[in-house]
A and B are shown apart, each in its own frame.
Chain A
Amino acid sequence: MSGLRLIASYPKSGNTWLRAFLASHLRGGQPIDLNADLARIGTLTSRSLQDLHAGLEHADLMPPEVALLRPLTSRRIAQEQPGLYKTHDSNLVPPGAGEPAIPADAIDRAVYIVRDPRDVAISAAHHFGWSLAVSVDRMADASFRLGHSSTRLNVNVEQWVSSWSAHVESWLDAGDLHLLPLRYEDLLADPLEGFTQLCRFLELDDTRPAVGRSLEACSFSALAGQETRTGFRERYHASTAPFFRAGGAGGWRTALAPELAERLVAEQGRVMARLGYR
């Protein structure tokens, strides 16, 4: 295998669920330890990984320099440490750079998970410790980025995320990628079908019993139960809820004030319609 195999998504769209599934699946469907086994599908933007392959500390660089550096580092990782990685990077060219952080030639293939932005808004609010209104604002912010250091170090380097709509279209409309788009809602409605597709795309065991076993091992209750018992190291420090909070679809109908849901539709409606979110 050469090149990066990406699990890409806007934040809070089901990425960790897929990673948990894959972590179990790569171990023959065994139960996983959230705080150890998810590392099988590493975070591409992890500061130590990026520092190592860049030969520089990103903490000593300014955002435009990081934007110039990241595509070069992505190519090095693709060559020297290829494999499965998760990312929240958009496939857009950040200010100051000439290409996206993960250029197409560094990517072997990419899975892109998309989720109804009204549910994303709720999940993101809990995760980042935002109000729902701030969450909706951020999702419309074309210059939204993650990993930016202010007064302390972030465990990830900078990622140019942009708005929810721009993020989704940057990946799903990329003509130069071997891409599998998945909707979170479809995975929930028929997990066996969706995850079988995922396994086939990633050239993993896609037989029904194997996929079923791994799905069982990373069921929502298994993951949430483990978080209750041992904690989850990827939970954000300002978070106001467990990382594995609800794991459902359509929660926005009761949890999101109608005016916020309307604002989201006004701002993201065109792309929502392309994905069938009505």
Chain B
Amino acid sequence: MTDGLLCGWRVRSAIALPELLEWQGDDRPPDLTVRLGEVDESLPQGRAISPFLQIDSTGAGLLQVPMVGRFLVRQSGDITVAPQPGASDAEIRLFLLGSVLGMVCHQRGLLPLHASSVVIDGGAVAFCGHSGMGKSTLALRFARRGHAVVSDDVCVLDNGAPARVRPSFPRLKLWRDAIEDAALSPEGLERNRRGQEKFHFLEPEAGVRDPLPLRAIFLLRRASLDAKEGIERLSAPLDIVAALEAETFRPEIGRALGAERSLFQARALLASTVPVYQLRRQPDAPPERWLDAIVATVRE
């Protein structure tokens, strides 16, 4: 199996990762190695960071998803996966390329935002928000218009200025409704979880290899019933830093690994160099009508 490219890292994996572009860089040793193997139920001297996750003093993390498996993630980039019997490949990749990717970022002092992102005018534009706010749905609509997908769920920021995104992979997690609303069919797509009406939609031609400047961040919010929909730029840097803290992927892991300061600095850099907007819309508002407004805002 050929090595893959994930956020600039060379990945050698015993598990097929069709989401990733092929590694075409130099012949360095792999940055991340994924193996199948036994993983103990708990980390010696590990402490529970969240209900299904432990971290130990070496910075190693253990994620346990009851019906999927255990993932041991060492600082060295060595990842061991012990799948549960019956777990599907897609389920294992869901957590490997989600929670585990987030943990790798925190171990390496990179800021992961909980965001989907696409390319607009040669730069990355990120959409942040809670589950259900429409991050992936917006990314899908842009992808259908020919915009490359930079990331889904975990948007990894490079260290240093100017702010740049390390592209992950062009896969979107979408509910049946979002797929059908875009006049597509979930037929033949892998399910996010067994029996779930949420699917993995891959745009393999739409991947991005190299880091991209981050041009804008949109915070997706629900407009209250009597409030107007619209896009509004946030101006106070401290408000932006606070908002971005809430949009950080698994911030508790960063805190547990002592990365609080570098995370703060990364968010402060974003706040002072990248425009951050709130996009308020009614729940279930059709995504299509926002695409042009988003592009126009980015070009302002």
Contact = CB atoms under 8 A, between A and B. Distances in A.
Interface residues of A, number: 33
A65 B52 CA distance: 10
B132 A56 contact: no
A55 B66 contact: no
B130 A54 contact: no
Specify which of A72, A149, A151, A230 lies most central, judged by the most chain B CB atoms within 10 Å of its CB: A151
A64 B226 contact: no
A257 interface: no
A60 B51 contact: no
B50 A55 contact: yes
Interface in A58-107: 58-62, 64-65, 68-69, 72-73, 76
Interface string A109-142: 0000000000000000000000000000000000
Contacts of B193: 60-62
A204 B49 CA distance: 34
* Interface range, B side: 20 to 34
B224 A36 contact: yes
B176 interface: yes
A14 B199 CA distance: 38
Contacts of B40: none
Contact of B196 (A55, A56, A149): A149
A231 B225 CA distance: 7
A233 interface: yes
Interface string B78-108: 0000000000000000110011000000000
A47 B222 CA distance: 14
Interface in B193-227: 193-198, 224-226
A153 B131 contact: yes
A111 B76 CA distance: 51
Interface string A205-237: 000000000000000000000000011110001
A152 interface: yes
B250 interface: yes
B231 interface: no
A152 B250 contact: no
A111 to B, nearest CB: 27
Contacts of A68: 66
B175 A152 contact: yes
Interface string A171-185: 000000000000000
Contacts of B197: 149-152
B194 A153 contact: no
B121 interface: no
Contacts of A143: none
Specify which of A47, A61, A230 lies most central, judged by the most chain B CB atoms within 10 Å of its CB: A61
A48 B175 contact: no
B132 A76 contact: no
Contacts of A186: none
A57 B131 CA distance: 7
A58 B132 CA distance: 11
A239 interface: no
B52 A60 contact: no
Contact of A47 (B130, B178, B198, B252): B130
A209 B52 CA distance: 48
Given A68-B66, A231-B225, A56 B50 contact: yes
Given A60-B98, A150-B197, A237-B284, 19 more contacts: A35-B225, A53-B50, A54-B52, A56-B51, A56-B99, A57-B131, A59-B192, A60-B95, A61-B65, A61-B193, A65-B66, A76-B50, A76-B51, A152-B175, A153-B132, A153-B175, A230-B225, A231-B225, A232-B225
29 contacts: A35-B225, A47-B131, A48-B130, A51-B130, A51-B131, A54-B51, A55-B49, A55-B50, A55-B253, A56-B50, A56-B99, A57-B131, A60-B95, A60-B173, A61-B65, A61-B193, A62-B195, A64-B67, A65-B65, A151-B175, A152-B175, A152-B176, A152-B177, A152-B197, A153-B132, A153-B175, A155-B132, A231-B225, A237-B284
Interface of B: 49-53, 65-67, 94-95, 98-99, 130-132, 173, 175-178, 192-198, 224-226, 250, 252-253, 284
- Smallest CB-CB A-B distances: 5 pairs: A55-B50, A72-B51, A153-B132, A231-B225, A151-B176
